[in-house]
Amino acid sequence: MAKYSDKLAQRNLFAALLRAKSKYGAKTDALLDADDKAYTYADLIRASFAIGSVLRRHTKPGEKVGVMMPTGAGAVIAFFAVLAIGRIPAMMNFTAGTRTLKLACKAAEIKSIITAHRFIKLAELGDLVESLNDTANFLYLEDLREEMNALDKAIAVLGPVFPWAFRSHSESSEPGVILFTSGTEGDPKGVVLSHANVVGNVEQIKSHIDLRTDDIVFNPLPTFHCFGLTGGALLPLFSGMKAALYPSPLHTKTIPERVRTTGSTILFATDTFVSRYARAGNQGDLDSLRFAVCGAERVRDETRAMIRKKFNFPILEGYGATEASPVIAVNQPEDNRHGTVGKLLPGMEARLDPVQGIKKGGRLFVRGVNVMSGYLRPSAPGIVEPPEDGWHDTGDIVEIDNKGYVAIKGRAKRFAKIAGEMVSLAVVENCAKAVWPDNEHVATTRPDKRKGETIILTSDCPDANRAELLAWAQSHGVPELAVPRKIELMDPIPVLGTGKVDYVAVEKHLEDLGH
């Protein structure tokens, strides 16, 4: 593992790509697309300069430019093309719907969005584009290629040879990318990450986990999500590993086969997705994996047991936030502590603020090279709201033991206060999962005049019932307070493009039922 140094973070994102080309070789394969087309470092840099040269005529220096593409070479090239000319890429969640995307454009003052005709057609996003036409101007990669003139082509040739003469020389402290919070519990916020935030997080990960240049990272996660962008694309690119990219995590039958055919050794996923891949995959499909890294949600014991039985590779549970670029803590292959998310990455500070009703642990605040420049809100477009004294409030209730292992107890918002006791909604969901393991379950709260709050479980299991759940809780020493008063059916349980539960949609469903 490389030794971590803050100095390594002090370069911009495009310079980090150029450094990787010099260190690992211009002709080294860097990306493998879903159609099996390979791209070397030289290919990526040449294409970035070419597309960037055309983009200069459509955008202004310092402008935020939306990138609305599936995970693949096109998204990576668009990302670096925007950076090459001193613009700021803003990664757009095309699964979020018109209202959320309009709010995102407003918060970050986005006037142009890069996409591709082929993607819009295949994903059937024509109506979405039409609804956004009054908000932003769409630039299509196919059209930008057609628009290339002799000068653009010359820059494509000369840029990789004399990059200092053609690329933007942004400071590492300047904005490098804008991502948006998922909006699981409200309106999205823009998260401004500096070049140093993202490059620094890559360096932190490299110094924490043993990565090899012959590793192949399989990444089906969206690049509009920080886990998919930093972990699944930029980490392998900047570390000399090949990234095998796939456009959607939802293709559960295809992905295990792609892992096998690409010979991938590391998989980035969430618990929900990796459990689906394990169920759908044939014996041997995932045998090439050294390990999988899972974030965004807790890794369930059932998932580990299934993978141990069928494929026998370890799952490294990690923890992060978009505001931290995103990785905060992660387990290591040689030190994988189940029930924890491992230790904090090097160069990070943490503090736990006390929470009323929580006896052990507290509300986690983090500070470090990877913590964001600040938020952009639709209510104050373009105004960056920095974290106070550099501390980001994660909103999570956490315990850190005396050896530094971090255990996530739940979101502060995802605790119910019942008769003066704090009850984790994650515990409620885990109990339901233990009783009905093949189904999905979401716990939410409603006000209760007598006890303060009451818990409702929403499940896609038609047989879910309180009596069976209560019997399980009593036989396993779980207090009755953690057993929901009511269970409602919702099939399917809605999820966002990131794989997280769409709590807004669940809440609306309960309101429609009269809760």
Tokens for 166? 């053609």
Tokens for 203? 């360096």
Sign of the dihedral defined by the CA atoms of residues 53, 56, 58, 59, in that order: positive
Q: What is the pLDDT along the chain (515 residues), one digit of tens a residue?
A: 667 777 777 889 999 999 999 999 999 999 999 999 999 999 999 999 999 999 999 999 999 999 999 999 999 999 999 999 999 999 999 988 898 899 999 999 999 999 999 999 999 999 999 999 999 999 999 999 999 999 999 999 998 888 888 888 899 999 999 999 865 556 789 999 999 999 999 999 999 998 999 999 999 999 999 999 999 999 999 999 999 999 999 899 999 999 999 999 999 998 888 988 998 988 889 999 999 999 888 888 888 888 988 898 999 999 999 999 999 999 999 999 998 999 999 999 999 998 877 778 889 999 999 999 999 999 999 999 999 999 999 988 899 999 999 998 877 667 777 766 678 788 888 889 889 988 999 998 888 777 778 899 999 999 999 999 988 988 888 888 888 888 999 988 987 766 678 888 888 898 888 88
Backbone conformation region of residue 404, classed left if phi is above 0, alpha if psi is from -120 to 50, else beta:
left
Helix (H, G, I), strand (E, B) or coil at 122: helix
The angle that helices 13-24 and 41-55 make with each other, rounded to 10 degrees, is 150
Amino acid at 190: G
Sign of the dihedral defined by the CA atoms of residues 164, 170, 171, 177, in that order: negative
* Greatest CA separation for the chain: 75
Long-range contacts of 166-170 (CB under 8 A, 24+ apart): 166/49, 166/84, 167/14, 167/15, 167/18, 167/49, 167/84, 167/85, 168/12, 168/14, 168/83, 168/84, 168/85, 168/86, 169/12, 170/12, 170/14, 170/83, 170/86, 170/195
Question: In 3D, which of 179, 192, 257 has the Cα closest to residue 218?
Answer: 257
DSSP string of 44-86, one letter each residue: HHHHHHHHHHHHTTTS-TT-EEEE---SSHHHHHHHHHHHHTT
CB-count burial class (<10 Å; 0-12, 13-18, 19+) for 447: exposed
From the CB of residue 474, how many other CB atoms can be counted at a distance below 10 Å? 12
pLDDT digits (tens, 9 = 90+) for 202-222: 999 999 998 999 999 999 999
pLDDT digits (tens, 9 = 90+) for 51-101: 999 999 999 999 999 999 999 999 999 999 999 999 999 999 998 889 889
Domains along the chain with CATH numbers? 6-400 (3.40.50.12780), 419-512 (3.30.300.30)
Calpha distance 199→83 (Å, rounded)? 14
Q: Are the C-beta atoms of 322 and 181 separated by less than 8 Å?
A: yes
The enclosing H or E element of 227 equals none
Calpha distance 425→432 (Å, rounded)? 11
